Every structure is written in C-alpha cells, then in structure tokens.
C-alpha cells in the first residue's frame, strides 16, 4: 500500500501537469477531479491528500521503517518495464532506420557505435527523477529519467545494430553543461531548453513539468514574510545554481534575494543553518526533503506553476550538431508518453522513494556527504 509521500507526490504531479498544460500525462481519477487552478485550491487539495494518507508524509525517517519495501524487487519491476517498452518501440514498423552509411551518422552516434556506451550526466539529487539508492551496500543511481535513458540506449542499440548501454556520470548542472560542450558527456536529462541554452545546445522535446515549490523552517510558519501579498520581499531564497528555478524565481518574486548554491543538499542546509530564509525546488523533491527533514515544510500558497515560455519543461540536453541522436531520443519520449510507460516509470520511482533508507539519504546533512 502506498505511503503518504507517494500519495502527496502523485496528487501534486497531477496538479502541476494540469496547470502547465501537459497533454501527454495521465492522472488518477481522484487527482484529476481535484486539479485546481489557484494556489489556495492547490493547497486544499494537497492537504486533503495528506489527510487521506495519514501523517506519514511529514514524519521522521524512523516512522517510515514499518513495512519496508524490497528494493531489488522494485528495481527489477522497473527493469521489466524498460525491457517491455524497448521491445515494443524496436518492433514498430514505422521506427527510424539507419541507412548503414557511416558518413550519415552524427558525431555522437558515431562515437556510441564505436564504444557501445552513451555517456549520460545526472545530478542524482532529484527524486524521483534521478537519485541515489543503496542496495546491499552498493550505491545505485535510479529514477524514472535513468530508466528512460535505458530505453533510449536500447533504441539506439537496435538502430545501430550494436549493443549499447548507458554510463552514468555525476555532475551538478553547471558542470554537466560544461561537460557537454567539452564532449565529455553525450546527453543530460532534466534540463530545460531555455532561450539562452538553445543558443549553445540542442534539446529533445520536453517530457516533464513541475510546480515550483517554496519551503522554509516549520518554526517560522505564520510569519508575515510568508504572506503571498508580501511577494517574498526581503526574503533570501536558496536555489541550485544554473537551473530554471534560479532564472524563473526573480521573474516571479523580484523583491526577494536569491542565494545560488551548487546542489539541492546545499540549498537545504542553507535554510537549516539560517543562511537562507527559504528554498525553491520542484514539488516532488521538496516533498521528499521535507519528509526526511521534519524541521522543514513547504508552502503551496507561495509556490507557482511553470511559465512555459521561460521554463519549457525538462528535456535531454545534447551537444550541437547531433540531430539524428536527438531524433532517436524524441522517438522514445513520444512513445512512452503516449502509451502510459512514462507515468508507470514515474510511479515505480516514487515507490522507491517511499522508504526509510531513501529518506535517510535525503536528511540534509547526509545528502551533503554524497
């Protein structure tokens, strides 16, 4: 049975997708019926979901220990989903087909054909998209973007006629963008194709949109500075450097002060230690961090929906000049969003988040050590 974190994440996922105009995602009947358009209505719907789930979404790590899940079984389930979908895409009669001529391949596909590897960058700090999970003492990078990349690798394997797997590389956003330009990475998911980035990189179609969520210390709930009409005037808000959270925050709240930091963990620590008043991140990550750090809460009256012109949603970022590689990624994204596989992988990733060991990893001080 799903715990509170899963229920609240699923509800907010439906609300943010509806607000951002996503047409490819499916939602549960309850979440769709609850989808409002105002911050107050969103907060009410989330409160109802949290109440229905009990108090587990905001409990300490120890409280999540009851009924611990079988990580291996959950990962195996996701891997089965990946394998089934890869087989389905690769058996389609209208799939993209390579003409067999080496000269027709772009630089990245030529390198992948030679090495049998796709070098993919992850921050591994954005659950349920991509995150660390320890199983039997071994650190794993899991999440729906990681599994989506496995499907892409399988699609490229079929396209090129050689076995292809992904190699996971850990970078922050700024470092990942630099590595793409230096040809150390071949793609990086979860990045938004902003006008500035499009000048220097190619992007796949977007596949994910998130509510931008503001949070702060529970001990500060009720302070005047959090009133929506104050527009966070004089409030220091911590965000991850180089993200669309950072660029969009000043547009939404021009009276706030932005503190740009290297990682999600650094952002949380800045609030816990008083260096910042508040944090901003996507809603599912905020829910998990608040569950792991019970001193923190999130405020949906201050949170806001994505501006699709300035934040077109998460996509794969690719070095310029690789249109054939991007076309294969787009082929996979189109398929998994149309047949329900994307939502299935997202649900499976949320299931992995909903346990005490994952929460332990996202206690802010522990996450900094990763």
Give the DSSP per-residue string, 250-263.
HHH-TTSEEEEESS
What does pLDDT average to over the chain? 82
How many whole angstroms separate alpha carbon 106 and alpha carbon 326? 10
* Type and span of the H or E element at 65: none
How many whole angstroms separate alpha carbon 211 and alpha carbon 17? 8
The percentage of the chain sitting over the pLDDT mark of 70, rounded to a whole number, equals 78
Whether this prediction's pTM lies above 0.85 is answered by no
Query: What's the pLDDT band for 357 if we cut at 50, 70, 90?
Result: low
Q: Which residue range(s) make up the domain with 115?
A: 71-208+313-368
Give the residue from 304, 328, 349 where a domain finishes.
304
Is position 39 within any domain? yes
Query: What's the pLDDT band for 363 if we cut at 50, 70, 90?
Result: confident
Give the pLDDT of residue 263.
87
Quote the number of domains for the chain: 2
Looking at the structure, tell me whether residues 195 and 332 fall in a common domain: yes
Looking at the structure, tell me whether residues 233 and 285 fall in a common domain: yes
- Convert the pLDDT of each residue in 173-184 to its tens digit: 899 999 999 999
How many whole angstroms separate alpha carbon 160 and alpha carbon 158? 6
Looking at the structure, tell me whether residues 204 and 266 fall in a common domain: no
Looking at the structure, tell me whether residues 241 and 299 fall in a common domain: yes
Task: Find the range with the poorest average confidence among 5-14, 34-43, 174-183, 235-244.
Answer: 34-43
Let me know: does 317 contact 203? Beta carbons within 8 Å.
Answer: yes
Is position 66 within any domain? no
Give the residue from 304, 321, 347 where a domain finishes.
304
Task: Find the range with the poorest average confidence among 15-19, 241-245, 251-255.
Answer: 15-19
94: helix, strand or coil: coil
Which residue has 């750090």 as its token pair? 293
Question: Does 327 have pLDDT greater than 50?
Answer: yes
Q: Calculate ∠ Cα 253-259-260, nearest 5°.
A: 110
More confident residue, 289 or 153: 153
Let me know: does 145 contact 189? Beta carbons within 8 Å.
Answer: yes
CATH code: domain of residue 30: 3.40.190.10
Residue 147, number of CB atoms within 10 A of its CB: 25
Question: Does 188 have pLDDT greater than 50?
Answer: yes
Let me know: does 262 contact 172? Beta carbons within 8 Å.
Answer: yes
Looking at the structure, tell me whether residues 197 and 328 fall in a common domain: yes
Looking at the structure, tell me whether residues 170 and 318 fall in a common domain: yes
Let me know: does 6 contact 284? Beta carbons within 8 Å.
Answer: no
What angle, rounded to 10 degrees, do the helices at 283-292 and 4-19 form?
160
222-234: average pLDDT = 97
Give the pLDDT of residue 243.
83
Concatenating the DSSP letter of every residue in 295-320 gives: TEEEEEEEEE---TTT---BEEEEES
More confident residue, 143 or 11: 143
Looking at the structure, tell me whether residues 175 and 151 fall in a common domain: yes
Question: Does 40 have pLDDT greater than 70?
Answer: no
The percentage of the chain sitting over the pLDDT mark of 90, rounded to a whole number, equals 59
Looking at the structure, tell me whether residues 47 and 82 fall in a common domain: no
Give the residue from 281, 304, 327 where a domain finishes.
304
Give the pLDDT of residue 322.
97
Is position 219 within any domain? yes
* Type and span of the H or E element at 134: strand 130-135
Phi, psi at 16, each rounded to 5°: -70, -35
Looking at the structure, tell me whether residues 147 and 194 fall in a common domain: yes
Looking at the structure, tell me whether residues 197 and 233 fall in a common domain: no
Is position 65 within any domain? no
Looking at the structure, tell me whether residues 197 and 295 fall in a common domain: no
* Type and span of the H or E element at 24: none
Looking at the structure, tell me whether residues 83 and 202 fall in a common domain: yes
Is position 15 within any domain? yes
Cβ partners under 8 Å of residue 69, min gap 6: 351, 352, 354, 355
């Amino acid at each position: 049975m799903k715990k509170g974190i899963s229920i609240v994440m699923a509800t907010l996922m439906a609300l943010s997708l509806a607000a951002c105009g996503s047409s490819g995602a499916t939602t549960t009947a309850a979440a769709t019926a609850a989808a409002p358009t105002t911050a107050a209505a969103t907060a009410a719907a989330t409160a109802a979901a949290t109440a229905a789930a009990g108090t587990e979404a905001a409990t300490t790590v120890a409280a999540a220990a009851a009924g611990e899940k079988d990580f291996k079984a959950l990962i195996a389930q996701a891997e089965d989903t990946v394998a089934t979908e890869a087989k389905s895409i690769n058996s389609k009669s209208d799939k993209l087909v390579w003409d067999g001529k080496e000269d027709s391949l772009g630089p990245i596909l030529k390198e992948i054909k030679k090495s049998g590897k796709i070098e993919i960058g992850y921050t591994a700090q954005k659950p349920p998209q991509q995150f660390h999970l320890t199983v039997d003492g071994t650190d794993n990078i899991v999440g729906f973007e990681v599994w989506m990349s496995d499907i892409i690798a399988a699609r490229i394997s079929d396209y090129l006629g050689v076995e292809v797997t992904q190699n996971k590389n850990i970078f922050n956003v700024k470092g990942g963008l630099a590595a793409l330009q230096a040809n150390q990475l071949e793609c990086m998911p979860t990045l938004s194709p902003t006008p500035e980035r499009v000048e220097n990189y190619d992007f796949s179609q977007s596949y994910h949109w998130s509510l931008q969520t503001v949070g702060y210390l529970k001990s500060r709930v009720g302070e005047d500075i959090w009133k929506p009409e104050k527009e966070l005037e004089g409030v220091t808000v911590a965000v991850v450097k180089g993200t669309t959270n950072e660029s969009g925050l000043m547009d939404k709240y021009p009276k706030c002060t932005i503190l740009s930091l290297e990682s999600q963990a650094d952002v949380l620590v800045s609030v816990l230690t008083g260096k910042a008043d508040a944090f901003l991140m996507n809603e599912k990550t905020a829910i998990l961090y608040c569950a792991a750090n019970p001193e923190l809460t999130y405020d949906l009256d201050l949170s806001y929906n994505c501006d699709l012109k300035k934040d077109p949603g998460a996509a794969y970022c690719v070095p310029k000049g690789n249109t054939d590689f991007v076309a294969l990624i787009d082929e996979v994204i189109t398929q998994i969003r149309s047949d329900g596989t994307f939502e299935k992988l997202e649900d499976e990733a949320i299931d992995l988040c909903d346990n005490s060991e994952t929460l332990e990893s996202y206690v802010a001080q522990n996450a900094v050590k990763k």
